[in-house]
Structure 1
């Protein structure tokens, strides 16, 4: 009756204006009363800048949302209804290391895939688990909506290593694929439906529909005929081999390029790193430009330049999800949640990315059954990687981390895995205390 309290951890992110815009647009149906933006001392300047812009946006829109800025997470969490996480442990400098170090060994250097994804998970999971423990104490009935990557691995860890059941992982990839299909076919996005199933950044469109008519073959034809597939700002578009994609028979997501076009993607990354820097270094420049825009006291809207970030449009997914839970809309959205038998062959307690009915009690996964044979093995391998990586993040066990690194399909051998692991552990030592416990 008194409105909703939402807490955003990582509130100083450049993405925050998207979230604020989403809450403003939906305020009639989603009455956000308080929005708490939380960050760490190293991010205080960005928090103040983004927070000031958020307040201007709210004032311009004339909606009664109180925007609070704080470095005290516990103060913010008390009595929250929804907690969203969009943080980066180690900031962009850590991402630069995640991308640069694997490239030295001829391995894909990427934020959420391969060694980079492993180390982002190792740094992030302990912090997320701390947040979960604080939520149990300060806002036990709140929903945790996690956008922090690697979202699938993080959701897996929360489901396995905490008692929190009100957790949902979120990604902008499915909404981007839906927009891509609509653009390919020249139809409105609202007319498109895709049956999503798989894992985070390993999700497939099993079938695509327009007005209820199956158009999967037509979409695959368009993807191969134009030699330009649905991709994102942060993923190079190589196009797809026509025969391969038609044989696959389902729609890959942009991140599948790292697995099906590894050599080409690696070569592009190496060339780009030499020319313009890694993607993280490019993002650092884009962010600097964005924050200069955000400082303009006359700016009171989300600037269009934000779309240059790879996670653009995530507020559509985040705000739609919160709106559907709050209003018990029972619409269908793809999210990361407990499998509960939706995908055969994956444990019921594991996290999957699948279409769900979104209700007041949370996501209800829609049964898929067995995944198609051509994609089943890769999904299983990545799920094994996620589970072992989550275990390594929680235990700080070197051998478990080595195992996770080695079973990732982007790492060629155990010897290379050990070399990359050792260098990255040392590089990220400050943010991996679980691996460097003092000897008693």
Structure 2
């Protein structure tokens, strides 16, 4: 087996241990000779470096070098894969993304609604230079991108670097499917799902069971009147518990399809806002929870370099991205839900949309599955959201305040142009360090 060099862009993220855990679990399919952590926040990344070295020393069966750097040339030269999970502005800016909309009675969420658009403009400005650096120092490397908001990033990369070797990945569909399995006793490897939409904005039309040789989605929907209970990997998380409970309401009101959990923000924004605490949002929960826990482990690893007794349990976040890398590397031609230019995959949605659909991954890259036409209700929602996202990307490249205002006004969680303008102006003020100038 050929050994590979992997770089993790955004190496200081608290999700990095999950990716490394998946790499350890799959060493028979993807053997590393070197791991590089790259982050512009070197202090944060240095702490993570102690934890990652301890994990690998304790768990990885082969000697491996770990390089921690904020130098893109050192990080990317000669790598085979770059796993990207950058968060421009960090959790402090996520907190603003969530709290500013709530001030105006709108959904406060990191990837959806007006906060997601604020995050999107920051992400484009941070992600495009990253792509340029990877192409310069590792032109043959595959970029596997977890960075959000995925649809907006994918649209910007499509325009700026149309030939980039990039696969945009979201594990939300896997999380939904595994939660269904945990609730109702199915086996995930038995599923062949058909899903379509934009990232965080789509629906399952069928889930074919290889064992039963039929579509079992109607059975699943029949069982979902009360929603889903969170699986072990979200145990104790009140936010996710409420989200999975809400699925029961959506499939009751709009039967026949299983939506992505994030559609609650667009279909029921009033209910979401009514339940939100404008002084304590999901960003605060993450800072107080996962962020504190993981960096406490990093301090433990720094103090105890032999790593003995280090408690390591980071869930399955990294498994999906590692599975895609192994399918590329070993020509496995496995099926995943990926974010890709439409080009007819959803025939009655605009061809230049960036959609999330089933796709096969082999040594040559990704091949999306061509689906049948979708219902008008879903098409209408998708087209409006897609147009709003494209206007936002226009605003970035053109430096256009008007295009940004149009994007915010068209966003389906925003009630009026008046509210859109107030939020946009607030976001401009707090994002001066991160956004392009809009005139």
- TM-score normalised by the chain length of structure 1: 0.91
Residue 295 (structure 2) aligns with: 291
Instruction: Tell me, in whole angstroms, the C-alpha distance in 1 between the residues paired with 2:354 and 2:311.
Output: 32
**Residues 293 and 299, structure 1, Cα contact 8 Å, conserved in 2:** no
1:303 to 309, 312, 317: 312
1:64 is matched with which residue? 63
Gap runs ≥5 in structure 2: 302-306
Q: 1:147 to 1:259 in 2, by over 3 A?
A: same
Unpaired runs of 5+ residues, structure 1, are: 308-312
User: Is residue 408 of structure 2 the alignment partner of residue 405 of structure 1?
Assistant: yes
- 8 Å Cα contact 1:38-1:76 kept in structure 2: yes
- Contact 2:228–2:248 at 8 Å: present in 1 too? no
Q: Is the 8 A contact 2:350 2:383 kept in 1?
A: no
Looking at structure 1, the residues matched to 74 and 400 of structure 2 have their Cα atoms a distance apart, in angstroms, of 33
Counterpart in the other structure of 1:257: 264
Post-superposition shift, 1:295? 1.9
Residues 249, 301 of structure 1: alpha-carbon distance in 2 compared, 3 angstrom cutoff:
farther
Partner of 1:218: 219
Q: Report the equivalent of 2:82.
A: 83
1:281-314 per-residue CA deviation (whole Å, 9 max, x = no partner) reads: 111111023211232133677733x45xxxxx33
Shift in Å, 1:349: 4.1
Could you tell me whether the CA contact under 8 Å between 2:400 and 2:438 is conserved in 1?
no
What secondary structure is seen at the aligned counterpart in 2 of 1:239? helix
State the shift of 1:189 in Å. Answer: 1.9
Give TM-score scaled by structure 2 length. Answer: 0.91
Distance in 2, matches of 1:59 and 1:241, equals: 44
Separation in 2, partners of 1:390, 1:33: 38
SS of match in other structure, 1:295:
helix
* 2:304 aligned partner: none
Following superposition, the deviation at residue 132 of structure 1 comes to 1.7
Residues of 2 paired with 1:179 and 1:81: CA distance? 29
Equivalents in 1 of 2:188, 2:338: separation in Å? 18
Using the alignment, how far apart are the partners of 1:384 and 1:404 within structure 2? 8
CA–CA distance in structure 2, aligned partners of residues 77 and 348 of structure 1: 33
* 2: CA distance, partners of 1:300 / 1:163: 47
3-state SS of paired residue (2:246): coil
Cα distance in structure 2, aligned partners of 1:196 and 1:122: 27
Residues 65 and 204 (structure 1), Cα distance of their counterparts in 2 relative to 1, 3 Å cut: farther
Instruction: Report the number of matched residues.
Output: 423
> 1:87, CA displacement in angstroms?
1.1
Task: Assess if the C-alpha contact under 8 Å between 1:340 and 1:365 holds in 2.
Answer: no
Q: Does 1:423 align with 2:426?
A: yes
